[in-house]
Amino acid sequence: MTAPATPPRPAHPFFDHPAPLAFAHRGGAAAGLENTHAAFARAVELGYRYLETDVHVTADGRLVAFHDATLDRVTDGSGPIASLSWAEVSRVRVGGSEPVPLFADLLRAFPGARWNIDVKADAALPPLLEVLDAADAWDRVCVGAFSEARVARARALAGRRLATSLGTRGVLGLRLRSYRLPGSVSRSALCAQVPVRHGGVRVVDRAFVRHAHARGLQVHVWTVNDPARMRALLDLGVDGIMTDHIETLRTVLAERGAWSG
């Protein structure tokens, strides 16, 4: 099947790479050490240039790459990150072996990587912007969040130097418009980052991709681990896939002559 034409590349350096973009979700969470230096190093060694992570902030203002609000699920520690100091968080281990990284350290460790960042809490946004400013890393980052207000605040504070994705309300508006129904979609966002389905509702189909492209938005789909589904989404013309199974996505793209890291 011939894929639909992709839209013009968004006018931000983050997207200055041939589509489809391959994102290592939490560094490749299937390996069991999600959001750690070891996971991201493995993805980079496999050739990934786009890494996906999440950020929280400790009680003393240090920005960490971590998905959950609490340490309990993946570390040998416990408790909410927001109520713990960096000294306390730095002592726990993901999977019993790997420390929780500071996001600033990851930026330095992988200078060729681009980062898709899910801002998990309102309090994490100001320290994230401080880290990006200190590292002059605006070209290497796209920020998103489920909270439409949080994404809007990121855009308001950082301006055009920061690439952002649509929040939940914007995705809903895009889906409605793809049905030719009224819906509100931000003109500042540069991509829609979406699941294939939300609850019982199909989000990504040919109409959704076509309408996003007509608005100049790329479509990145998360979190896709099945090779058949990866192929089906690529046939629809999506512009990026986020996966826990980074070897699988690399293989699927290589089969099509589309692997570019």
Q: Is the pLDDT of residue 4 over 70?
A: no
Residue 166 pLDDT greater than 50, yes or no: yes
Beta strands in 166-258, from DSSP E residues, in sequence order: 191-195, 197-198, 201-202, 218-222, 240-243
Arithmetic mean of pLDDT, 203-227: 97
| Range list of β-strands (E), the chain | 21-25, 50-57, 63-65, 93-94, 98-99, 114-119, 141-144, 163-164, 191-195, 197-198, 201-202, 218-222, 240-243
For the chain, the structural domain boundaries read 18-254
pLDDT number for residue 2: 47
**Among the listed ranges 182-186, 215-219, 220-224, 229-233, which one has the minimum average pLDDT value?**
182-186
User: Catalytic one among 12, 25, 37, 211?
Assistant: 25
Q: Are 40 and 110 in contact (CB under 8 A)?
A: yes
| pLDDT tens sequence across 51-68 | 999 999 999 999 999 999
Catalytic residue among 12, 17, 56, 67: 67
Which of the listed CATH numbers 3.30.420.40, 3.10.20.30, 3.20.20.190, 1.10.600.10 matches domain 18-254? Answer: 3.20.20.190
What value does the mean pLDDT take over residues 219-229? 98
What are the pLDDT digits (tens) for 92-150? Answer: 999 999 999 999 999 999 999 999 999 999 999 999 999 999 999 999 999 999 999 99
Provide the pLDDT confidence category of residue 197 given band limits of 50, 70 and 90.
Answer: very high
User: Is 67 tagged catalytic?
Assistant: yes
Res 9: pLDDT: 82
